[in-house]
Structure 1
Amino acid sequence: MVKTEKVNFLFPKIPTEGKPMTNQKSSGRCWIFACLNVIRTQVMKKFKVEDLEFSQNYLFFWDKASRQIHSIERINYMLEAYIDCAQKGEKPDGRLVHHLLHNPTEDGGQWDMLINLVEKYGIVPIQCCPDVQSSESSMRMGRILNNKMSKEMTREFCMKLQKLVFDGSSEEAIQKTKITMMEEIYRIVSICLGSPPETFTWEYYDSDKKYNKIGPIKPVDFYKNHIKPIYNMEDKICIVNDPREMNVYDKLYTVDYLGNMTGGKMVLYINQPVDMLKKLAMASIQAGEAVWFGCDVGKQFSRKGGGILDLNVIDLDLVFGTSLLNMSKAERLMYGESLMTHAMVLTAVNIENSWGDGDGDKDDWFSEFVYEVVIDKKYIPDTILEVLKQTPTVLPAWDPMGSLAN
Structure 2
Amino acid sequence: MHSLEQNFTDKLYAAYEANPKYAALENAISHNGLLVSLEKRSSAVDNTPVFSIDLTKDKVSNQKASGRCWMFAALNTFRHKMISDFQLEDFELSQAHTFFWDKYEKSNWFLEQILATVDLELTSRKVKFLLDTPQQDGGQWDMVVSLFEKYGVVPKAIYPESVSSSNSRELNQMLNKLLRQDAQILRELVKDGVDPSTLQVKKEELLQEIFNFLAMNLGLPPRRFDFSYRDKENHFHSENNLTPQEFYRKYVDLHLDDYVSIINAPTADKPYGRSYTVEMLGNVVGSKPVRYLNVEMDRLKELAIAQMQAGETVWFGSDVGQSSNRKAGIMDKGIYDFTSSMDLHLTQDKAGRLDYSESLMTHAMVLTGVDLDEDGRSKKWKVENSWGDKVGNKGYFVASDAWMDQYTYQIVVRKEFLSAEELVAYEAEPIVLAPWDPMGALAK
1:348 corresponds in structure 2 to 369
Matching residue within 52, 57, 63 for 1:12: 52
Matching residue within 333, 338, 341 for 2:359: 338
1:308 corresponds in structure 2 to 330
Matching residue within 51, 63, 69 for 1:30: 69
1:397 corresponds in structure 2 to 435
1:152 corresponds in structure 2 to none
Gap regions ≥5 residues in structure 1: 66-72, 150-154
Question: Is 1:55 matched up with 2:85?
Answer: no
Matching residue within 204, 229, 234 for 1:209: 234
Question: Any conservation in 1 of the 2:371–2:378 contact (CA below 8 Å)?
Answer: no
Give CA-to-partner distance per residue, 1:135-190, whole Å, 9 cap, x none: 000000000011122xxxxx322222222233332211221221111111111111
SS at 2:73 equivalent: helix
1:69 corresponds in structure 2 to none
Q: Which amino acid aligns with 1:284?
A: Q
Whole-angstrom distance in 2 between the partners of 1:136 and 1:211: 31
Q: How much has 1:388 moved relative to structure 2?
A: 3.0
Q: Structure 1 residues 380 and 355, CA, compared in 2 at 3 Å: closer, same or farther?
A: closer
Whole-angstrom distance in 2 between the partners of 1:388 and 1:215: 41
Whole-angstrom distance in 2 between the partners of 1:375 and 1:139: 32
Matching residue within 170, 174, 198 for 2:195: 170
Q: Which amino acid aligns with 2:109?
A: Y
* Range that drifts further, 96-105 or 189-198: 96-105
Q: How much has 1:53 moved relative to structure 2?
A: 0.6
Q: How much has 1:362 moved relative to structure 2?
A: 4.4
Matching residue within 190, 210, 219 for 1:194: 219
Gap regions ≥5 residues in structure 2: 1-37, 380-398
SS at 2:277 equivalent: strand
Q: Give the superposed CA RMSD.
A: 1.6
* Range that drifts further, 363-372 or 97-106: 97-106
Whole-angstrom distance in 2 between the partners of 1:15 and 1:103: 38
Q: How much has 1:287 moved relative to structure 2?
A: 0.9
Whole-angstrom distance in 2 between the partners of 1:352 and 1:263: 45
SS at 1:190 equivalent: helix
Question: Any conservation in 2 of the 1:115–1:265 contact (CA below 8 Å)?
Answer: no
2:123 corresponds in structure 1 to 93
Matching residue within 11, 21, 40 for 1:3: 40
Whole-angstrom distance in 2 between the partners of 1:138 and 1:107: 8
Query: Larger radius of gyration, structure 1 or 2?
Result: 2
Question: Any conservation in 2 of the 1:310–1:364 contact (CA below 8 Å)?
Answer: yes
1:126 corresponds in structure 2 to 156
Question: Is 1:276 matched up with 2:294?
Answer: no
Q: How much has 1:336 moved relative to structure 2?
A: 0.8
Q: Structure 1 residues 335 and 379, CA, compared in 2 at 3 Å: closer, same or farther?
A: same
Q: Which amino acid aligns with 2:64?
A: K
2:145 corresponds in structure 1 to 115
Q: How much has 1:405 moved relative to structure 2?
A: 0.4
Whole-angstrom distance in 2 between the partners of 1:162 and 1:130: 37
Question: Any conservation in 1 of the 2:282–2:290 contact (CA below 8 Å)?
Answer: yes
Matching residue within 340, 349, 352 for 1:328: 349
Q: How much has 1:351 moved relative to structure 2?
A: 1.4
Whole-angstrom distance in 2 between the partners of 1:382 and 1:311: 34
Q: Aligned residue pairs: how many?
A: 383
Q: How much has 1:380 moved relative to structure 2?
A: 2.0
Q: How much has 1:258 moved relative to structure 2?
A: 0.3
Q: Which amino acid aligns with 2:370?
A: V
**Structure 2-normalised TM-score?**
0.83
* Range that drifts further, 101-110 or 135-144: 101-110
Question: Any conservation in 1 of the 2:264–2:409 contact (CA below 8 Å)?
Answer: yes
2:175 corresponds in structure 1 to 145
2:417 corresponds in structure 1 to 379
SS at 2:317 equivalent: strand
SS at 1:348 equivalent: strand
